Amino acid sequence: MKNLIKLLSFVFFAGTILMSCEGPEGTAGTDGMDGTAECMACHNEGTAFAAKEAQFDVSAHSLGTYFSRGGQCAGCHSTEGFLARMDFTSINEIDGLGQDNQSPIACRTCHNVHLAYDETDWALTFTDQVTETIFGYEDGDGHESYSFGDYGNGNMCLQCHQARDRGNVPTATETADVTTGSTHWGPHYGVQGNVLQASGGVNILGDLSYPSTTGGHAGIDDACISCHMSGGNHSLEVSYDGCITCHTAGDAEDKVEDLEEEIHDLLFDLGKELAIAGVMTADVEDTDTVGYEPKNMTMTADQAKGVYNYMVVYQDHSYGVHNPTYIRALLNNSLDLVTAK
């Protein structure tokens, strides 16, 4: 039965290919046989295409739980939205995209597809340095429209993995009360790019100082790709092979575990203090971890700085690995600020 289905889908697929090759868009091969061979250079077992597709299929990019159906979300959560808004400074390009005209992240989000019908199609759709953040986002460090370093192929990741403007983010020296406006207040889940460069949070002064925007992990060529796509692995699983350039072999993986524990504890201490102060709620639905979420209310500037920094560390999802020194400083300084009598 399984084999029959396989056979039928192959016949169907070969049929589709032949039809396409004969159709007006089959520019690659108008005579059936050559076209098929050309198509099979990718659409076949054992090709680079098949290998990447198998990896991609188990990645969060493929299995993602959320795919946008409108508004500014499309710029990062749908292929069409991303391609329409490469400059990331205006929502105009995606405003006209209908909900039915959008599809989830796939090969064509990041690669040219069916342009030359050969390996040059694997060129990336975006490689420019990201010098303007989404809608001129201002972070709590007073950076107006953050300019990222040049991370080569990793620039593509930064187009989506950057903070989003949720409004009313206090600067480090803000004194006026702050209205969060939403229980989803925070930098959103894409804050990794900013954190890598010691940015994105409210860099309040305190006992611990903040690292430079170029040192430590921010100095890694291709950044995200070196750690999450080493050897072109599209599953996004972290590879520890590259760590030995700077860490002792085997050491980095142990350090990750220790750091995650340390940051987890600090983060929960901060959340607990803010819940006691009445500005965050314990997320009782998440019984495994019991994280905290912001209340939609007006609070003191210092409380808001703490809440925002909590969300930066939580939504970065790496428990400090993206920038250990930065996240340590952010959390410790926030704890001191909100517990100061």
Report, in Å, the least distance between residue 265 CB and ligand HEC. 14
How far is the C-alpha of 209 from the C-alpha of 231, rounded, in Å? 35
Instruction: Name the minimum Å distance from CB 19 to ligand HEC.
Output: 8
Query: Whole-number minimum distance, CB 300 to ligand HEC, in Å?
Result: 27
Q: How far is the CB of 81 from ligand HEC (least distance, A)?
A: 8
Q: Identify which of residues 72 and 300 has a Cβ nearer to ligand HEC in the complex.
A: 72
Q: Is 259 or 277 the residue whose CB approaches ligand HEC more closely?
A: 259
Residue 221 tokens read as 């060529």
CB burial of 2-13 (b: ≥16 within 10 Å; e: otherwise) equals: eeeeeeeeeeee
Question: Cβ closer to ligand HEC: 109 or 333?
Answer: 109
Nearer to ligand HEC, 242 or 294 (CB): 242
Closest separation in Å from C-beta 57 to ligand HEC: 7
Instruction: Compare residues 189 and 277 and give the one whose CB is closer to ligand HEC.
Output: 189
Query: How far apart, in whole angstroms, are the C-alpha atoms of residue 29 and residue 23?
Result: 10
**Pick 48 or 282: Cβ nearer ligand HEC:** 48
- What residues contact 196, with CB distance under 8 A and at least 6 apart? 217, 218, 223, 224, 322, 323
What residue type is assigned to position 99 of the chain?
Q
Nearer to ligand HEC, 255 or 272 (CB): 255
* Nearest CA-CA partner of 340 in 306, 298, 299, 312: 306
Find the Cα–Cα–Cα–Cα dihedral 284, 318, 259, 231, rounded to 10°: 150
Query: Minimal distance in Å, beta carbon 248 to ligand HEC?
Result: 11
Instruction: Give the integer Cα–Cα distance in Å for 104 and 97.
Output: 14
CB of 312 to ligand HEC, least distance (A): 12
* Nearest distance, CB of residue 149 and ligand HEC, angstroms: 10
**Exposure b/e, 204-227, CB count within 10 A at least 16 = b:** bebeeebbebeebbbebebbbbbb
Q: What are phi and psi of 26, to 5 degrees?
A: -80, 60
Q: Which is nearer to ligand HEC, 68 or 334 (CB)?
A: 68
C-alpha dist (Å) from residue 87 to 90, 105, 152, 177, 305: 8, 18, 16, 34, 30
